[in-house]
Amino acid sequence: MNRRTRLLAPMFSAVAVVSLVATSTLWGAPSARAIEPPSVDPGALPPDGPPSPPEPMRQGAYCTRVATLPDTDYRVQPRYMDMLNLPEAWRWGRGAGVKVAVIDTGVSPHPRLPNLIGGGDYVMEGGDGLSDCDAHGTWVASLIAAAPMDGKTPLPPPRESRRPDTVPTSEAPPPPPPPQTVIVQVPSPPPPPPAPAGPPPPPPGEPGVAPSSWQPTGTTVRVQAVSNRFTIPQAPVDDVDVPAEPAPPPPAPPADGFSGVAPDVELISIRQSSKAFSPKDAFSGDQDPATRKKAGDIQTMARAVRHAADMGAQVINISAVSCMNALNVIDQAALGAALRYAAVDKNAVIVAAAGNTGSGGNTDCEQNPPYNPMTPNDPRNWGQVKTVVTPAWFDQYVLTVGAVDSAGNPLIDLSVAGPWVGIAAPGTDVVSLSPRDDGLINATEGRDNAMVAPAGTSFSAAIVSGVAALVRAKYPELTAHQVINRLISTARPPARGVDNQIGHGIVDPVAALTWDLKDPGARVGPERLSSPLFIPPAPPPRNMTPVWVALGGIGGVIALCVITVGLTAIRSRRVR
């Protein structure tokens, strides 16, 4: 070993020590986005009661416009329906006897939703859930239960009439239509024959009183005036007979290729949210208005789930979700308890959307990292979650649905991934019943007031809810957990068997109804119960003491090395 090598060896040793200390410090640092599955406190269950807004609300925007895109031919079956093979699935029924609750923006009555009933309104005081200003809940309900149209069978009358669109609170309501006056013309009878000559008229008596000797001659004509303002109470004319013509039956609408997955179910509409409405006093208090609204939505969601379960819903569809950063999770104790109550105590299948990335300009709905094969002890990647979607992440009680396109390809740039995603379904090329008239639509108002074809996990969840209703109708003995197990066991799986984008695969209605599963699964799934609900705490500030101790040690080693090198150099010079 030469002299230069002997001088540099201590310095290399010092660098090696520094690298080992720094690496060990990084290994010991906790993950900034680590999160665990949520736990539930059953004691936080909210009470049930008449649905109503938690605080006074006001409408601040006009209702969403809807339309049909150019060159649309509704006679052609929508592309997403080609994946479902509904005619084959309907050989075992179309969902009759099953109640499906839609917790959304409300559902507008439509002739092709003959079994729709109102379940309550948490947006507008006194509402019944049958108003859809956002044109979202009606779309979801249509994918679940719209009746097919063959062009021959007349539509049955709906249970409820369609409500007019509401306007912003600052706007005056539209004037009522002018009253219509109906005039009935009654022909006068033929003139009487001339009367024979008789005695002269009697002398006039008291004003307003006819003499007793006076007798009328001729015929008296009675006329009845009809109006919506007043009526002259006269006896009708006996000799006028105007027969009423029966109204002709309404013609059947033209045939089209659209239908819901389970058209015979009974729909319960509960309006829980609306982008057109906001609290009247949104800026009162110290809480951020956006956080306050999100917390209010979670509370009304908990009440709506409890109310739907108490109304006897066997399937509950939740396509309106809330996203939040994993480091700032809002308290959801009431929602977790309500989901457990509905799924376990009331035996309801709860289907929720996985959420859309950046939906509606919401930057909280940020995509989660993909699966990390370097963490075999965390196969669903809970440790890297940065966006929490609720109620989707309550995966022990909820079947969460991701979205694929009409060819079965995952919508990676749209559908929020997560370890809670259980299954997937088509979320593009969708058609809906119109919330404004008796027709169909395939476009809604998007950004910059442009008409766009919507896509997303809301519609995927609706399709899975329809399939769940078909399964519940054929297998009424199965519990909610067993129905979910049948759906995910018969889905078309991805290459890995399960992943965070489409869960266990794409729903297959025919397989879910026909496959012979040897093990239907436990009646109730494993539960994570605690008191209170586990909320991930904010990460504590990093303890810098080990770092400073390490740096001090490194400095000491470097100083020792410098001293050693200096002494060696001095000794070498003296030897010379």
Residues with catalytic roles: 104, 136, 458
User: Residue 545 is inside which H or E element, if any?
Assistant: helix 545-575
Neighbouring residues of 464: CB distance < 8 A, sequence distance ≥ 6? 351, 399, 401, 423, 425, 487, 507
Write out 138-151 in H/E/C secondary structure.
HHHHHHHHCCCCCC
CB burial readout 461-488, b (16+ within 10 A) else e: bbbbbbbbbbbbbbbeebbbbbbbbbbb
Element (H, E) at 120: strand 116-121
Q: Where are the alpha helices (DSSP H) in 124-180?
A: 137-145
Report whether 46 contacts 305 (CB < 8 A): no
Nearest-5° Cα angle at 523, 426 to 310: 75
> Which tokens is 373 given?
């094969």
Q: What distance in Å separates the CA atoms of residue 365 and residue 43, rounded to the nearest whole number?
A: 30
Question: 3-state class of 492 per DSSP?
Answer: strand
Which residue reads 């007349």 in tokens?
A: 154
**Angle at CA of residue 495, ends 378 and 419, nearest 5°:** 30
Beta carbons within 10 angstroms of residue 400's beta carbon: 31
Distance CA 462, CA 317 (A): 7
Neighbours of 355 (CB within 10 A): 33
Output the CA angle 190-192-196, nearest 5 degrees: 165
CA distance 534 to 39: 5
**What tokens does 153 get?**
């069978």
Cβ distance 102 to 130 under 8 Å? no
Helices (H) and strands (E) in the chain, counts: 9, 16
Checking 407-414 for CB contacts under 8 A at 24+ apart, the result is 408/83, 408/492, 408/506, 410/501, 410/502, 411/455, 412/367, 412/501, 413/357, 413/367, 414/356, 414/357, 414/455, 414/456, 414/457
Q: What residue type is 159 in one-letter code?
A: R
Contact indicator for 346, 311 with CB cutoff of 8 Å = no
The pair phi, psi for residue 282, each rounded to 5°, is -70, -25
How far apart (Å, rounded) are the C-alpha atoms in residues 23 and 17? 10
Token pair, residue 66, equals: 């809807």
